Amino acid sequence: MLHVQAKQPAPTAVPRSASPLLPTSAAGIPSHSGVLINLLDALAGAGGLSEEARTWLMLDPGLALEIVRTTAQPGVASSRYSFAELCGQMSLATLKGLVSNAAIRQLAEPATALPDADWSRAISLAHLCHALARHTAYPAPDEAWLAGLFCSPPGIEAALSELPLRGFLADAPRFLHEPASRLRDATPLPRLAAAAWHLLERRAPGDVDTLSLRPPPGHESLRAMLQEMDKSVEVFSALARAQQDLTGAVARFTRAELATGGMHERTIEGVLAAARLLAEQEGLSDPLYLRLDKRTSMLESRDLGELRAQPISIRVEGSNAAAVRALFTRTPVVVYTDSGNDASLLDIQLARQANADGVAAIPVGVGATRGVLLVCGDREALADIAAHAERYSRLGELAGRAIPPVEPALEAGDPRLGGRVRRAAHEINNPLGIIKNYLAILKAKLGGEAPIADELRIIHEELDRIVRIVRTLAHDDDSLAELSEETDIGQLAEDLVKVTAPTWQPRDIQVTNQHGAGLPRLTCDRDKLKQILLNLLLNALEATPDGGEVRLETAQVTNQRRERFIELQVSDSGSGIRPEVAEQLFDALETDKGNGHAGLGLAIVKGLTEDLGGSISFKTSSSGTTFQLLFPLG
């Protein structure tokens, strides 16, 4: 997708009178139904205009024309139009009203929808005009995009003529078919539009009249522009055709907007509003709210207003319940009663009690707020939740939003980086959720006794850990890193030995994992402990020569003051650590993996160990190095 935002002076504020809530089209230029569906879903309940929503607005000539029309001010000259700035001049409520109004008009008169062929032609011209603008260094490529977008739909020239535009945007379709000899004397914008039109019409770079563009694009450049255009249009055409239920999109948008209006500062009221919204959706029933108790690591049911909850408690560690999976992945999880081992007994109980086909778990909250909404439903309603996970994730975020989070400024670097990390984290969750779903399908097909079932479990847990790490980065949520679980260190070490097997098996290294019988579980942050052990194990493997030995040993020990500890030792059979390196082993040094495996990793290990209340020490000789970790037992 071509998406360039020109840097221009801040726009003049638009008076409220110039931005009616429900603008009516000046010339009835229709919108594409697929674009409207995607836009309604992107805007439903949103507190700001996302990049996704801005992109869809920029791809539709009817909606783009409404934005230009709504922001145009009589007597105000504007020689360049930046789409991002135009959107910034409108309130979010106005933009939402514009989209929903266009959708409702189209439902009332289906024949007015913009045909696929006309829409594809419009965005093809927008792509080409934008590409030609970049090639010729035209200072406002966003305006060139709009010029190309406005060249195709019927009636667009008359609609632009009605607007009080002080610039050359309206001249793009007006002078489109002028002879090249006359266009050579015109301003650049109509020449760019005409060149894009000719290029699209002839599809032959050798025949295109470049209309005195400077510098003139060569044949290869023009061919590359056409190829880039074809790929982009194909992608957007597929997305626009992916959904066809405009009525459903309008209903979803309306419900989300009403629910958002009912969510107050008290978190429980927002959750109640979300629960009612789910219960009103056809095919869903019996909403249940589970809140995480950080002290006990239990998900426990909570009353929601007049909705009295059954007493339910779920221990987070080791649970396969949909609620726990949604809590850790921060994405909705759908489970059917016929899903075999993927459906926990609790999920099956709740679904059967409601005479439903399964349950959906929707994570609730942002930042430190953690909980899950469970809802039962029939297969069709649950499939809608699975297919539109992002929409239901947003509902959960809105439900738990006590006070809108303020993005903190960074001490160094670009202060907008935090927002970019949040957007990246949001996008990362989607493919991770898809991967986890396919893992569940694979596990169901292979059966619980399959030889690789344990490996699939480990992959599933590591995906959950990625999601939690990304969440911590995205929300700057330190409390997430303090979620305690009862952890079996011996089992954790065994899992890490399996995970790292591809690195040591080809080298004929022998890795042994010994842990004492009846070893008590350690209540701690499992992710931090896993990171500690993984760092030490990888360091030991790197220090050990081919054919050597690495040992992991876990035991319970008691000191002279009768204090009990879990002791973990990781030993290698390398050549030991040089004295000058050993003196600064836990400092953040430049990596020296070849001679003593010292580096930033051990500084992190020490910090994480101390975070868990433990201590770390080591002993080294020419026959190897052993790291000792001690974690106190309560």
Which has more confidence, 120 or 427?
Answer: 120
Q: What is the chain's alpha carbon radius of gyration, rounded to the nearest angstrom?
A: 30
Phi (first) and psi of residue 510, to 5 degrees? -95, 120
The CATH number of domain 24-241 is 1.20.120.720: no
Which has more confidence, 626 or 292?
Answer: 626
Q: What angle do CA 634, 485, 288 make, to 5 degrees?
A: 130
> Using the 8-state DSSP alphabet, how is residue 106 labeled?
H
Across residues 290-305, what is the average pLDDT? 79
d(CA 552, CA 489): 11
Q: Torsion over CA of 281, 283, 288 and 291, rounded to 10 degrees? A: -70
Across residues 296-318, what is the average pLDDT? 78
At residue 89, the pLDDT reads: 77
> Using the 8-state DSSP alphabet, how is residue 44 labeled?
T
Which has more confidence, 264 or 86?
Answer: 86
pLDDT band at 544 (very low <50, low <70, confident <90, very high): very high
Residues 553, 518 contacting (CB under 8 angstroms)? no
H/E stretch holding 271: helix 267-280
215 preceded by a cis bond (ω within 30 of 0): yes
- Kind of pairing, strands 549-558 and 313-315? unpaired
E-only strand ranges, 453-548: 485-487, 510-515, 522-524
d(CA 371, CA 366): 10
Q: For tokens 């090249």, what's the residue? A: 180
3-class secondary-structure state, position 444? helix
| Crossing angle between the packed helical segments 51-58 and 61-71, to the nearest 10 degrees | 100
User: In Å, how far are 63, 209, 604, 625 from 583, measured between CA atoms?
Assistant: 66, 73, 17, 14
At residue 11, the pLDDT reads: 33
Q: What is the mean pLDDT of the chain?
A: 76
Cα 550 to its chain centre, rounded Å, is 39
pLDDT tens digits, one per residue of 574-621: 999 888 888 778 775 444 444 444 444 687 788 888 888 899 999 999
User: In Å, how far are 172, 178, 211 from 183, measured between CA atoms?
Assistant: 11, 6, 7
Query: HSE of 15 in the Cβ direction (CA atoms, 13 Å)?
Result: 5
d(CA 444, CA 307): 35
> Using the 8-state DSSP alphabet, how is residue 477 labeled?
-
Across residues 144-173, what is the average pLDDT? 79
- Kind of pairing, strands 615-621 and 624-632? antiparallel
At residue 21, the pLDDT reads: 30
Long-range contacts of 581-585 (CB under 8 A, 24+ apart): 582/618, 582/620, 585/618
Tokens of 631: 């974690």
d(CA 71, CA 91): 11
Tokens of 244: 């066809």
Across residues 13-39, what is the average pLDDT? 56
Across residues 401-420, what is the average pLDDT? 45
pLDDT band at 221 (very low <50, low <70, confident <90, very high): confident
Partner residues linked to 599 by β-bridges: none
* The pLDDT of residue 510 is above 90: yes
Give me the residue spans of the domains in the chain. Answer: 24-241, 262-403+416-477, 485-632
- Kind of pairing, strands 549-558 and 485-487? unpaired
The one-letter amino acid at 222? L
Of the given ranges (160-164, 375-379, 575-579), which has the lowest mean pLDDT? 160-164
* The pLDDT of residue 16 is above 50: no
355 burial (CB, 10 Å; 0-12 / 13-18 / 19+) is exposed
pLDDT tens digits, one per residue of 317-356: 778 889 888 887 778 899 998 887 778 888 999 999 889 9
CATH second-level architecture of 262-403+416-477? Answer: 2-Layer Sandwich (3.30)
The one-letter amino acid at 393? S
Q: For tokens 């101390």, what's the residue? A: 610
Residues 213, 186 contacting (CB under 8 angstroms)? no
Share of the chain above pLDDT 70, in %: 73
Q: For tokens 């011996």, what's the residue? A: 490
Whole-prediction pTM value? 0.43
CATH second-level architecture of 485-632? Answer: 2-Layer Sandwich (3.30)
Which has more confidence, 431 or 105?
Answer: 105
